[in-house]
Structure 1
Amino acid sequence: MSRKALKMDAKEAMREALVSPYMVTIILGVITLVLSVVQGFLDIWQGMIENAGAYDLGQTGAFAASSIIFMIISFILSTIIQFGYQSYCLKVANRDQTMSYGDLFGSAKYLLKALGLTLMMGLFTVLWTLLFIIPGIIAAYSYSQAIFIMVENPDKGVMQCIRESKEMMVGHKWEYFVLELSFILWQLLGLVTCGLAFIYVHPYTNVTLANYYNAIKPKTVVYEEVSMFE
């Protein structure tokens, strides 16, 4: 399927979606903004401690504990909404009538797997990057379909999703890179509009990528039962 066809189908699917992709993206943005604001307060707190001069064990301990707690909460919540948003976009691409705002938090049901997949993808990418930047980039593209695989098949294990993603992306990495690159002007539009355009650009991009996942994933063969007397 051509890039043009993938994008046109994404636009059509967004128009037909029972649950507005723009509202789901706004909810995603609000959650991300809240996490950023909290992180900003922690940064200010850290600056105040550093500028105080005198070492305050109580202040430093409270800051360290708060930072660790927030880091854990942020990682968990970010993982939930990342997987949830991918699940929602895949449903939009598939014209799935079961889509809902709750999809954004649906990955909480398999949270440990989602966290494990996020950690393993990050670890493998970092390890390949230590060899050189290019192998790290190639690894990232190899694992690019793993989240879609898991949100579509939550019963699959972490390593199974990574392995299947690597198999799916054989011969498709450059094609996927070009597809992502084709959104560069849309991304720039999002930046120059102070993020407002991302309300359209983000779901458009992700539904297109969901279409690409559907285009390259192995097709299930359905065998019809045939009577020997026919």
Structure 2
Amino acid sequence: MEIDRRELKRQAREAIRVSRPSFWVVTLVYLLMTTGVSTLAGLLVPAPDTGNISLPALFLSILLSLYSTVVGFGFTLWSMWTSRKLSPGLGALADGFSVALLVIMTSILIFLHMLAWSLLCIPVVWLVLIPVLLSPSLSFLVIPVLIAGIMIFSYWVSLRYALAYYLLADHPDHGAFAAVRRSVELTRGWKWEMFKLAFSFIGWELLDLLLYSLALLLVLVQGGFFQSLSLEHYGDAYMVYQIILSYPRSALLLLLASIPVKLWLYPYRSVTMAGFYDARLRLQREGSVEMPPL
């Protein structure tokens, strides 16, 4: 038995269009609370030019990551309630702070599980690479194939835990361990369906990436910006990107470039995923014994 992706997305579009306050207002506030705060923090505490990570910058990065995780859980709450036609307000974005420790514990558990699976993946990828290693003409493919293999495997494993935050939202009293364990159970045999659902948003995501890339290109071609860079920075793409973000006007342009797409894509995708979660629970309650295609 399959879950109808088109119907899920149609229901999500209908739900977010009738939500009050409007979905774009909620998403804009969410972006200001996450990306906006991170950008502002990066301007106030910029990364050192030497490329070394300072303790204040490291502490701020960890703090912002935990903060964004909790706010992201609030957006998950809004998405669930919107999918269920419960008319959540902006306050849903802050509701995650009432269970912040549980949210953080869940994120840590997911990270540890992902790390363990990634470590197990590395020997398997190396075994696959043996034919490449034995062929000198293909040796240049070793690193790209290794990285691609780990990324694909990690993404596939991440689907095991994709429903953990929804389960935590429904049953916070069960705790983080139960949310992670139940997510693994609910997604078993359904990862391909989840991948197809996520991939169905690829057009919007590519448009989002295109707008951001065009804004980044616009910043790069500005003569005044290039003149402010020292010669040794050109060989380090990450360092150049960090320097770009240290300029308020450049950071603001990159922040605003793809917001029109994000204001639609983020709630659309998140509410659709919440609908998938409810559909999966419904199938489990109905006791369906027919397994979906693997």
Q: Same fold (TM over 0.5)?
A: yes
Encode CA deviations 1:166-194: one digit per residue, 9 max, x unaligned.
11001100000010001000111222333
Correspondence for 1:174: 192
Where in structure 1 are there 5+ consecutive unaligned residues?
A: 52-59, 222-230
Cα shift at 1:7: 0.4
Correspondence for 1:19: 21
Contact 2:46–2:57 (CA<8 Å) still a contact in 1? Answer: no
Q: Does residue 118 in structure 1 map to residue 107 in structure 2?
A: yes
Match of 2:168 among 134, 150, 154: 150
Correspondence for 1:73: 63
1:1-230 pair list within 5 angstroms = 1-31=3-33, 32-44=35-47, 46-47=48-49, 50=50, 64-97=54-87, 99-132=88-121, 133=150, 135-193=153-211, 194-195=257-258, 196-217=260-281
Contact 1:150–1:161 (CA<8 Å) still a contact in 2? Answer: yes
Where in structure 2 are there 5+ consecutive unaligned residues?
A: 122-149, 212-256, 287-294
**Aligned equivalents of 1:109 and 1:13: distance in 2?**
26
State the SS of the aligned residue for 2:173: coil
Contact 2:45–2:57 (CA<8 Å) still a contact in 1? Answer: yes
Residue identity in the other structure for 1:7:
K
Identity %: 26
State the SS of the aligned residue for 1:217: helix
Cα shift at 1:65: 4.2
Cα shift at 1:217: 1.6
State the SS of the aligned residue for 2:182: helix
**Aligned equivalents of 1:24 and 1:35: distance in 2?**
18
Residue identity in the other structure for 2:277:
Y
Report the RMSD for the aligned CA atoms in angstroms: 2.1
Cα shift at 1:126: 1.5
Residue identity in the other structure for 2:198:
E
State the SS of the aligned residue for 1:10: helix
Encode CA deviations 1:13-43: one digit per residue, 9 max, x unaligned.
0112122211111111112122133225534
State the SS of the aligned residue for 1:19: coil
**Aligned equivalents of 2:62 and 2:189: distance in 1?**
37
Contact 1:127–1:136 (CA<8 Å) still a contact in 2? Answer: no
Kindly indicate whether structure 1 or structure 2 has the higher relative contact order, using CA contacts under 8 Å at least 6 residues apart.
2
Encode CA deviations 1:178-228: one digit per residue, 9 max, x unaligned.
10001000111222333121111110011111100010025668xxxxxxx
Residue identity in the other structure for 2:172:
P
State the SS of the aligned residue for 1:95: coil
State the SS of the aligned residue for 2:92: helix
Q: List structure 1 segments (4+ residues) > 6 angstroms apart after TM superposition.
A: none
Encode CA deviations 1:129-172: one digit per residue, 9 max, x unaligned.
11213553332111110011111222121110011101100110
**Aligned equivalents of 1:26 and 1:190: distance in 2?**
15
Q: How many residues align?
A: 207
